[in-house]
Structure 1
Amino acid sequence: MFEKFFNLKANNTNVRTEIIAGITTFMTMAYILAVNPDILSAAGMDKSAVFSATTLSAIVGTLVMALWAKLPFALAPGMGLNAFFAFTVVLGMGYSWQFALTAVFLEGIIFLILTAFNVRELIVNAIPMNLKHAISAGIGLFIAFIGMQNTGLIASNEATLVTLGDMSSHSVWITLFGLVLIGVLLALKVRGALLIGIFAATVVGIPFGVTHLPEGSWLTLPPSVEPIALKFEFSSVFTIDMLIVLFTFLFVDMFDTVGTLIGVSSKANMIKKDGSLPRAKQALFADAIGTTVGSMLGTSTVTTYVESASGVAEGGRTGLTSLSTAGMFLLALFLSPIFLMVPAAATAPALILVGSFMLTPVLKINFDDYTESIPAFLTIIMMPLAYSIAEGIVFGMLSFVALKLLSGKTKELSWIMYVLTVLFLLKFFM
């Protein structure tokens, strides 16, 4: 059944590989089940209800990706977007969480319309091939940086912005243990190396107090979403602040999703020779549907996760990978104590090594043409430094257009590139 529906043989994969890839993706992104409720509860939302909304929206979005787009990408409420929701819109601007939730709902509706009319797919296909390869490499550095930061291997510093973390920390050494273990398993070509490393690091963390075993029953009923579901504030729709908030949600989600789809697809060699991504429209519908349904359930913007690269690194190539991830999210609804006990120190090695895997498309970039290599470099370096996939794409695209224009290579620019340039400049001024 799976073979026929997902066309496994044609994609050089099998059921076992896809399921392991799906579980690996889930394990590297399961932190969102703990982090999203924490962040949104700061805005006054019911924490338990947000846990259920987070999990259900991830299931919905990932199922659409699995069964319609048939691509190995998972979705959940996005990091960064949830912080903007809670700390900027609610705590910073002073609006209610219902106002912010309304903005997310409107964003989802707009994305559904834009996707239906192929606007988002046009943007995906318009990004030059060298920038597509650069996006993959940039995301690799970005998620490796996230992994190092989450476990404390890299820490903030006033003088240098970042510095080496506390090397006496148990979390850091468990991460280094996981890195070596996964590296050895990869060298020995052991299938499921990332997943084995995550579980091993989790177990090793128990005696050191890094992994906290759940107390009480490991089987729980999911909390109700009633306190936050369908709590919209439509009276504030036609205001300037709503326009600014909505534009920010749209912009960041648009280019985070586009960047993730392109970057992970480039690593998996899914991008066609003409630069297009197969079933891109269906993939973009997945996050639009996930965002719309998620806002109705009571959570922030749903987006495609860069951690999907961990599943692709394990050999995931079809929707069966994302179907497996959705199944894990369903289990998490009832077995949340088990999944939430996996510490950041255990998932960080997987993120760091997946970051290294995603650098390989750099070899396909034409470094002899400076109008290609400079934008590619800016795309790569700005993602981790600006802590944003979207900002990396912005700097890459703006420099690409500027260099092509000023060097007389205007024939290499499409009208979509000009439109995007104007939008990017407006974004900076707004």
Structure 2
Amino acid sequence: MLEKLFKLSENGTTVRTEVLAGITTFLTMAYIIFVNPAMLADAGMDKGAVFVATCLAAAIGCFIMGFVANYPIAQAPGMGLNAFFTYGVVLGMGHTWQVALGAVFVSGVIFMALSIFKVREWIINSIPLSLRTGISAGIGLFLAFIGLQNAGVVIDNPATLVSRGDITSLKPALAALGLFLTIALVYRGVRGAVMVAILVVTAIGIAVGDVQWGGLMATPPSIAPTFMQMNIADVFEVGMISVVFAFLFVDLFDTAGTLVGVATKAGFIKEDGKLPRLDKALLSDSTATCVGAVLGTSSTTSFVESTAGVAAGGRTGLTAVVVGVLFLLALFFSPLAGMIPAYATAGALFYVAILMMSGLVAVDWRDLTEAAPVVVTCLLMPLTYSIAEGIALGFISYAVIKLLSGKGREVSASVWVLSAIFVAKYALQ
């Protein structure tokens, strides 16, 4: 049955290899079951329900990717998108988390339509590489800023907006330890390095009395507080246009980049440069986003940590299915997830930020018309505390700078249209 479903022999792999690859991928991305509920709880959502939604959305996303697209690519609620959900849409713009879930669902439906009607390549190719890189790096800076705040390393200051906190106190010190452990363990090739660092910091917090032991395993909490709670009606307001676009673009570019990266490492790219079953992979991702919104979590996307499983030999969807099964088993560890303090996840946020900012090496820094919009996008995301604002101002600056520099012909039609929409949004506010 497994041979028929996943074509193991054709892909030069075995059940044992796929299972080990799935375990490897899960260990590298399991930190999301701790980080996502903690982040969305700041938006006012029930932490236990979000924990269940996170595990179920990840499991369903992995199953769809495995059975439909037959790729060893795991899915789960994405980092950056969850930060935008909480700190940008809910806390920053003042919308309810129900409306934010509605925006996630609508963006997933649009993503699904783009996949079905095969226009996603046109969108991806028409957005300049510099802007895509700037968006990813800006989200990385945003995550790092949130991590520093959670750790107490950066605090509010009426005079300067922010300033350094007491870095010699317990929480900042443990957050720093978590970051150092994460980097060291990843560098040494330890499987599950991020999760190990989170658990070590939590264990120290329990030992010194800052965290209360709540048990290890229990029956999963109820998902009722978040299930089917999305508010779609209020999404169709002018002010929500940039929010939906932000969810859509970040998910689209993140997924496309992950698919290409994992596929290249696995040797899936054909001689003509095309990725087989790309439509099914993108459809799997967009479907998972819609399902996640229904369950009660931010956008579900493909995880770049899937490369760990590919490196371990994973070549088929069976790897993704194994990851999905492990996420279902993780449902019974809700007490452990509930104990994780915010400072224990700060290192993970900073580590993800490093990965997301690494793409800046691809920017042509000698061409100011390319470099300037990247810097605008990167800086304004954390400084405005909004991924949507960074994307909007990045697009506008790209179009205007190119036009005034005599390079207007280099701007694609889609960038002009989106820039005009963003300008109209600001004008109508």
What is the TM-score normalised by the length of structure 2?
A: 0.76
Distance 1:47-1:397 versus aligned 2 partners, 3 A rule = closer
Query: Higher mean Cα deviation, 63-72 or 401-410?
Result: 63-72
* Match for residue 31 of structure 1 among 10, 28, 35: 35
Counterpart of 1:403 in structure 2: which amino acid?
A: I
Partner of 2:249: 255
Question: 1:268-287 maps to which residues of 2 (within 5 A)?
Answer: 281-282=279-280, 284-287=282-285
d(CA) in 1 for partners of 2:159, 2:322: 44
- Decide whether the 8 Å contact of 1:155 with 1:164 is kept in 2: yes
Whole-angstrom distance in 2 between the partners of 1:422 and 1:125: 19
* Partner residue, 2:201: 201
> What is the distance in 1 between the residues matched to 2:278 and 2:367?
29
Map of 1:400-411 to 2, 5 A cutoff?
400-411=398-409
Whether contact under 8 Å (1:157, 1:163) holds in the other structure is yes
Task: Tell me which residue corresponds to 2:301.
Answer: 304
Partner Cα separation in structure 1 for residue 168 and residue 108 of structure 2: 45
Q: 1:54 to 1:17 in 2, by over 3 A?
A: closer
Aligned position for 2:335:
337
- Tell me the CA shift for residue 397 of structure 1: 2.4
Question: Following TM superposition, by how much is the alpha carbon of 1:161 offset from its aligned partner in structure 2, in angstroms?
Answer: 2.0
Partners of 1:24 and 1:195 within 8 A in 2: yes
Deviates more, 1:261-270 or 1:333-342: 261-270
Alpha-carbon distance in 2 for matches of 1:351, 1:83: 14
Structure-1 residue corresponding to 2:160: 160
* Pair 1:20-2:11 in alignment: no
For residue 252 of structure 1, what is the amino acid of its counterpart? Answer: A
Shift of 1:336: 0.9
Q: How does 1:22-421 map to 2 (within 5 A)?
A: 22-28=26-32, 30-36=34-40, 39-41=43-45, 52-68=52-68, 70=71, 71-75=73-77, 78-81=82-85, 108-215=108-215, 218-223=217-222, 225=224, 229=227, 237=233, 242-244=236-238, 247=241, 249-261=243-255, 281-282=279-280, 284-297=282-295, 299=296, 301-304=298-301, 308=303, 311=305, 323=321, 326-421=324-419
- Structure 2 unaligned segments of length 5 or more: list them: none
* Cα shift at 1:117: 2.1
Q: Check 1:53–1:188 CA distance in 2 against 1; reply closer, same or farther (3 A cut).
A: closer
Code of the residue aligned with 1:223 in structure 2: it is S
Q: Which runs of 5+ in 1 are unaligned?
A: none
Contact 1:136 1:358 in 2 (8 A): yes
AA partner of residue 375 (structure 1): P
Counterparts in 2 of 1:122 and 1:85: CA distance versus 1, 3 Å: same
Q: 1:281 to 1:365 in 2, by over 3 A?
A: same
- What is the distance in 2 between the residues matched to 1:36 and 1:82? 6
- CA-CA distance at 1:337 after TM superposition: 0.8
SS in 1 for 2:166: coil
Give the direction of change, closer, same or farther, for the CA distance of 1:121–1:163 in structure 2 (3 Å limit).
Answer: farther
| Partners of 1:48 and 1:203 in 2: CA distance | 20
Task: Give, as a single letter, the amino acid of the residue that structure 1 aligns with 2:26.
Answer: G
1:132–1:266 contact (8 Å) kept in structure 2: no
- Matched position secondary structure for 2:162: strand
Contact 1:121 1:281 in 2 (8 A): no
Alignment-mate amino acid for residue 175 of structure 2 = T
Indicate the percent of aligned positions where both proteins have the same amino acid: 36
Shift of 1:18: 5.3
The question of 1:427 aligning with 2:425 is answered yes
**Structure 2 CA distance for partners of 1:278 and 1:408, relative to 1, 3 Å:** farther
- Verify the 8 A CA contact 1:255 1:390 in the aligned structure 2: no
Report the Cα distance in structure 2 between the residues aligned to 1:405 and 1:122, rounded to whole angstroms: 22
- When structure 1 is superposed on structure 2, of 108-117 and 200-209 the one drifting more is 108-117
- Shift of residue 27 of structure 1? 0.9
The one-letter amino acid of 1:424's match is F
Tell me how far apart the structure 2 counterparts of residues 231 and 193 of structure 1 sit (CA, whole Å). 35
The amino acid that maps onto 1:74 is: A
Q: How far off its partner does 1:103 sit?
A: 6.4
Is the contact between residue 27 and residue 192 of structure 2 (CA under 8 Å) also seen in structure 1? no
Whole-angstrom distance in 2 between the partners of 1:174 and 1:6: 48
Q: 1:52·1:224 contact (CA, 8 Å) conserved in 2? A: yes
Q: Is the 8 A contact 2:376 2:390 kept in 1?
A: yes
| Contact persistence 1:75–1:287 (CA under 8 A) | no
Alpha-carbon separation, structure 2, partners of 1:157 and 1:381: 19
With over 3 angstroms needed to count, the CA separation of the structure-2 counterparts of 1:279 and 1:180, relative to structure 1, is: same
Which range is displaced more, 336-345 or 262-271?
Answer: 262-271
Q: Is the 8 A contact 2:61 2:75 kept in 1?
A: no
Whether the 8 Å CA contact 2:263–2:275 is kept in 1: the answer is: no
In the TM superposition, residue 152 of structure 1 has moved relative to its aligned partner by 1.8
Return the alpha-carbon distance in structure 1 between the equivalents of residues 92 and 194 of structure 2.
36
Distance in 2 separating the partners of 1:159 and 1:429: 30
Shift of the alpha carbon at 1:172? 1.4
Q: Per-residue displacement from partner, 1:135-194 (whole Å, max 9, x unpaired)?
A: 333333222222222222222222222222232432211122223333333454545433
Shift of residue 47, structure 1, vs aligned partner: 7.2
Structure 1 position 83, deviation (Å)? 6.6
Question: Displacement, 1:321?
Answer: 7.2
Please tell me the root mean square deviation across aligned C-alpha atoms, in Å: 4.3
What code does the residue aligned with 1:255 have?
Answer: F
Q: Which amino acid in the other structure matches residue 373 of structure 1? A: A
